Amino acid sequence: MAGFSELGFLFRLLPVFLIIYFAVPARHRESILLLESFIFYAFGEPVFVLLLIGTTALNYYLGEKIWKPGGVPCIYDRQIRRRKVFLRCAVGMDVGILAVFKCLSVFVDSALLPLGLSFYIFKMISYQIDMYRQEISDKPGWRQTALYFMLFPQVSSGPIMRYAEGGFGSGRQRSLKGLEDGLKYFTAGLGMKVLLADRLAILWNDLQMIGFQSISTPLAWLGAAGFSLQLYFDFWGYSLMASGLMVMLGYPFILNFNDPYASRSISEFYRRWHVTLGKWFRNYIYIPLGGSRCDKKRMVLNLAIVWLLTGIWHGSGMNYLLWGGVVGLLIILEKTVYGKYLQKIPVLGNVYVLLLIPLTWVVFAVTDLGQLGIYFGRLFPILGGAGIAVNRQDIARYLQSYSIYFIAGVSLCIPAMNRFWIKHKDHPLVVILLVIVFWMSVYMQSNSAGNPFMYLKF
């Protein structure tokens, strides 16, 4: 599949898709977009595109059995039981398909995990539960349902938009303003991915090549900060590009990141990070389990289940389970022990987040638990066990090489910068800056192999 930052997508697929989409009459636009989405996915997954089509058809059929107009109560017990049976069949099927392919990718071959499976399966589960809850007022047709599941800007890595958020079936209006705004979002995301995330990725790759046992403590901390920014701008960049494409096509902008590094607690951080995934787990796992409206023991269990599932969703390695467990434990401690103090002293909360989040991302990044232990031995030499660093002055060289990327990255994490961009994105100077960012990104892509988006593997 051609990634959004690849030159083939930028100069071939995207222009052709947009020209055809805007050239056809409005009544055929959804059909054309569905065909384009099928072609886009088939480029990367010529075999697993059949899985996408099959699950789409089955979910549409089961959704028809579940749907009931909003505000119309179910009077008969038989009708209630029938809808519950179809809901269980739909969710059970979707969860089963996801579990089977996750297991195949772990125990047989990683190539057996279809691209975007976790994202479009989550949308299918969301669709069925929203149908059961009567939160989808108009009965979806086949075209609208298939388009919701297969939309090419979202099919590979989200965001996980709910059906009711997309305005499916209402028709898309041509808008030069929408096209212009979408291009601006897309270009900003492209710059974050190519000019920041891909450059910071070189630092983390260097540390792996050198060996964690050979780096100094300052460089280990720089690497942890660098990986944190790399992951952030990689996925924020992707989300802006995907949402920009949606805006170009006439759909609403879906916010997936909301200045997470300005948070004052870990729980607030994850309300702002990957917003649509967090809402999915909250709406379809945490709240149905009882959420926080229960006794303290039950709330702790609910949080533990959610973060265990979050770790499993991200990957099969023990480090992902450990990462989910660590984050879940921190959030539980905030809810039950010290969270109120973080809220009373905002600066303390900010420092707490900026210190702990990079440490949790190290757990996320290092898949080998032995190497993870060595890295933490470097971060905290008082723990011992990591040996003596080969070059204690390595930090100076890497600071010289990467300081500009850290300065740019930290600046873009400041909420005021984001507010300034939103307010002035139509200003001629900002437009000129975006043009420069676009062509710099193209230049960097043409002179490198390019890195796939990090969340594509999830």
Q: Residue 366 is encoded by which pair of tokens? A: 């290092």
pLDDT of residue 74: 66
User: In sequence order, what are the residues at sequence separation of 6 or more whose Cβ sits closer than 8 angstroms to the Cβ of residue 411?
Assistant: 417
**Mean pLDDT for the stretch of residues 330-342:** 91
Mean pLDDT rounded to a whole number for the chain: 90
Between the alpha carbon of residue 125 and those of residues 38, 62, 98, 139, 428, the distances in Å are 20, 11, 11, 17, 43
Task: Take residue 342 and report the two structure tokens written for it.
Answer: 């973080």
* pLDDT for 226 beyond 80: yes
Residue 357 phi, psi dihedral angles, 5° rounding? -60, -45
Which of 217, 143, 164 is CA-nearest to residue 375? 217
What are the tens digits of pLDDT across the range 43-94? 888 889 999 999 999 999 999 999 887 666 666 677 788 999 999 999 999 9
**427 classed as catalytic:** no
**Which residues, including other chains, have CB under 8 Å from residue 187's CB and lie 6 or more apart?**
244, 434, 435, 437, 438, 441
Q: Which of 274, 314, 424, 427 is catalytic?
A: 314
For the residues 2-30, what does the mean pLDDT come to?
Answer: 89
pLDDT at position 171? 59
User: Where are the alpha helices (H) located in 216-283, listed in sequence order?
Assistant: 217-248, 266-272, 275-281
pLDDT in tens, 140-191: 999 999 999 999 999 988 899 999 988 776 656 667 888 999 999 999 999 9
* Band of pLDDT at residue 457, cut at 50, 70 and 90: low
Burial class (CB in 10 A: 0-12, 13-18, 19+), 57: middle
Tell me if residue 316 falls in helix, strand or coil.
coil
pLDDT computed for residue 76 by the predictor? 64
Which one-letter amino acid corresponds to residue 181? D
Q: Is 457 left (phi over 0), alpha (psi -120 to 50) or beta?
A: alpha
Residue 395 has a pLDDT of 87
